[in-house]
């Protein structure tokens, strides 16, 4: 009986590992404090738990990161709604968000090289068009976007585009 149980646990671990490898593929390249998304050309902070702040606090944090040259880059920004949604959309296509793995997106990203992705909302730079006191946030527990008051505190996950002098994914 113990042998069968060990075999089942081993098979389950193998399936989880294969699912993680298939979900991540070669899309994300981890390098120190950053993770490059080779599909979009965006570079994300590897740590998705830098701070939980108001929207203005989040923009101040990004300014500070640029002043300090965080991870040798000076073009950090809050991601747009569309940039954050590239991650949520990827998780959905990879079988997360109610798909094959029955696991939320934050679990996928924590398994593919990111650290501290929270089952919570992340700020975007996209202000709500009808009321600029609100900005879009994306829930990394279910991939659903919504608008929230900028005074509330949510997580910050900075991103930057390819810097001048770097190659784009198409030119590699």
Query: Using CA atoms, how far apart are residues 22 and 42, in angstroms rounded to an integer?
Result: 20
Query: Using CA atoms, how far apart are residues 114 and 33, in angstroms rounded to an integer?
Result: 9
Contact 67, 61 (CB under 8 A): no
Residue 163: pLDDT above 60? Answer: no
Contact 87, 121 (CB under 8 A): no
Residue 170: per-residue pLDDT? 39
**E-strand spans in 11-72?**
28-31, 34-37, 43-45, 52-53
Per-residue pLDDT of 92-123, as tens digits, reads 888 776 655 567 888 899 999 999 999 999 99
Query: Using CA atoms, how far apart are residues 92 and 83, in angstroms rounded to an integer?
Result: 15
Per-residue pLDDT of 49-78, as tens digits, reads 999 999 999 999 999 999 999 999 999 999
Residue 172: pLDDT above 70? Answer: no
- Two structure tokens written together for 104: 């939320």
- Two structure tokens written together for 45: 């902070």
Query: Using CA atoms, how far apart are residues 27 and 11, in angstroms rounded to an integer?
Result: 26
Residue 68: per-residue pLDDT? 98
Give counts: helices (H), strands (E), the chain: 4, 9
Residues of the chain above pLDDT 70, percent: 76
Rounded to an integer, the average pLDDT of 30-49 is: 96
User: Phi and psi at residue 61, in whole multiples of 5°?
Assistant: -60, -45
Domain range list for the chain: 2-161
For domain 2-161, give the CATH superfamily.
Answer: Mannose-Binding Protein A, subunit A (3.10.100.10)
Query: Using CA atoms, how far apart are residues 38 and 28, in angstroms rounded to an integer?
Result: 6
Max CA separation in the chain (angstroms): 63
* Strand, coil or helix: 59: helix
Q: Which of 36-45, 91-100, 115-124, 161-170 has the lowest mean pLDDT?
A: 161-170
Contact 105, 140 (CB under 8 A): yes
Query: Using CA atoms, how far apart are residues 53 and 76, in angstroms rounded to an integer?
Result: 16
Residue 101: per-residue pLDDT? 58
Residue 19: per-residue pLDDT? 41
79 confidence band (pLDDT: 50, 70, 90): very high
């Amino acid at each position: 009986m113990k042998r069968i149980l060990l075999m089942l646990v081993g098979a389950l671990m193998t399936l989880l590992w294969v699912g993680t490898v298939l979900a991540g593929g070669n899309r994300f390249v981890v390098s120190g404090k950053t993770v490059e998304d080779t599909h979009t050309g965006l570079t994300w902070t590897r740590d998705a738990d830098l701070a939980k702040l108001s929207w203005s606090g989040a923009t101040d944090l990004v300014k500070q990161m640029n002043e300090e040259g965080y991870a040798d880059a000076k073009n950090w920004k809050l991601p747009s709604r569309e940039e954050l949604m590239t991650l949520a959309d990827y998780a959905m296509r990879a079988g997360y968000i109610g798909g094959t793995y029955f696991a939320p997106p934050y679990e996928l990203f924590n398994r593919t090289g990111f650290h501290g992705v929270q089952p919570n909302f992340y700020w975007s730079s996209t202000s709500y068009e009808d009321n600029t006191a609100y900005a879009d946030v994306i829930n990394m527990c279910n991939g659903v976007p919504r608008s929230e008051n900028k005074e509330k505190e949510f997580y910050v996950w900075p991103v930057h585009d390819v810097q001048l002098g770097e190659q784009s994914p198409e030119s590699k």
